Amino acid sequence: MKSAAGRRRDYFLFRWKEYGIGYLFMLPWIIGFSAFVAFPIGWSLYNSFNKVIINSDGFAYEWVGLDNYQRMLIQDNAYPIILISLFQEMIIMIPLILIFSFCVALLLNQKFPGRSLMRAIFFLPVIFATGQVLMELFVQGAGELPFIEQYNLTSIVNQFFSPGIAETILSILSKAVIILWYSGVQILIFIAGFQTIPKTVYEAVRVDGASPWESFWKITFPGMLPFIGLNAVFTIVDLFTFPFNPVLEIVQRNMFSPNTGYGYASAMAWLYFALVMLLLAITLWLTYRANKGRGALR
């Protein structure tokens, strides 16, 4: 009989023979992630609990605990308001982008002349309107549509909604171009999702007398739930790293301010990161529940 240590050694060797080659292929990524992602993230978290001072000798750290977070939430009058306003706006924009991209993908999944060209046109903004190009377009005013002033939507929205909600709605309307530009990848993912549903299923329900409306809600929509969740996660990450994100701008401004510095800015960034991760966790949980319910129905 082998000892417990011998059995553990044999089990480790067995696991290494089975998965060792895969771990070796992953080794460059693990090294890069540890050096360029994990270490900076951990250092940023450490900075958030310190007052970071830049002097002639470099960086000086003074442990302040949760003072940066308390100061940010209690004394800072601007950051919490900007953070809440951004999340209100994004919670409305994310469903709009998903609904728009889903409807467009549903249309582009049909057979009609020029379908490939239309798919390419909807994907072009993903190629061109990124990074510095997108920033330059907004600087030149190409990111806004003139219909708000033409139809006097500002007064109409203010008439029927409270000031806070009206401001959020008008802000979203002013970013209508973003909804168009930020839907290209989602459209392709939805189109790929539609291809996973067998056509024989539609033929079977058509023989049974189901209408297109019934087949959509009984077959298409349940089959697309995983892709809706995937697109929701992608859209959340994409929008919350938007180049004109006001939260990222205020974090960067405080980072180089002598009154706040790296520690205070790191606390701001970590609060923002925690809220985004919470939103992602809720999205993944809802997707899991929806897919689990779909499996139960089967």
> What domains sit in the chain, N to C, each tagged with a CATH number?
1-40 (no CATH), 78-244 (1.10.3720.10)
Rounded CA gap, 142 and 33, in Å?
37
**Residue 17: predicted pLDDT:** 74
Rounded average pLDDT over 209-218: 84
Weakest mean pLDDT among 16-30, 159-173, 220-234, 279-293: 159-173
Nearest to 177 by CA among 218, 225, 138: 138
**Residue 281: predicted pLDDT:** 92
Confidence of residue 147 (pLDDT cuts 50, 70, 90): low
Between 227 and 163, residue with greater pLDDT:
227
Instruction: Read off the pTM.
Output: 0.77
* Residue 132 clears pLDDT 70, i.e. is over it: no
Rounded average pLDDT over 193-208: 85
**Residue 232: predicted pLDDT:** 92
**Residue 138: predicted pLDDT:** 63
* Residue 296 clears pLDDT 50, i.e. is over it: no
- State percent of the chain over pLDDT 70: 85
SS3 content of the chain, % helix, strand, coil (to 5): 80, 5, 20
Between 282 and 254, residue with greater pLDDT:
282
Q: 52: helix, coil or strand?
A: strand
Rounded average pLDDT over 14-34: 82
Rounded average pLDDT over 247-266: 84
* Residue 31 clears pLDDT 50, i.e. is over it: yes
Residues 6+ apart with CB under 8 A from 100: 179, 180, 183
Rounded average pLDDT over 191-195: 89
Burial status of residue 140 (CB atoms within 10 A of its CB: 0-12, 13-18, 19 or more): exposed
Confidence of residue 149 (pLDDT cuts 50, 70, 90): low
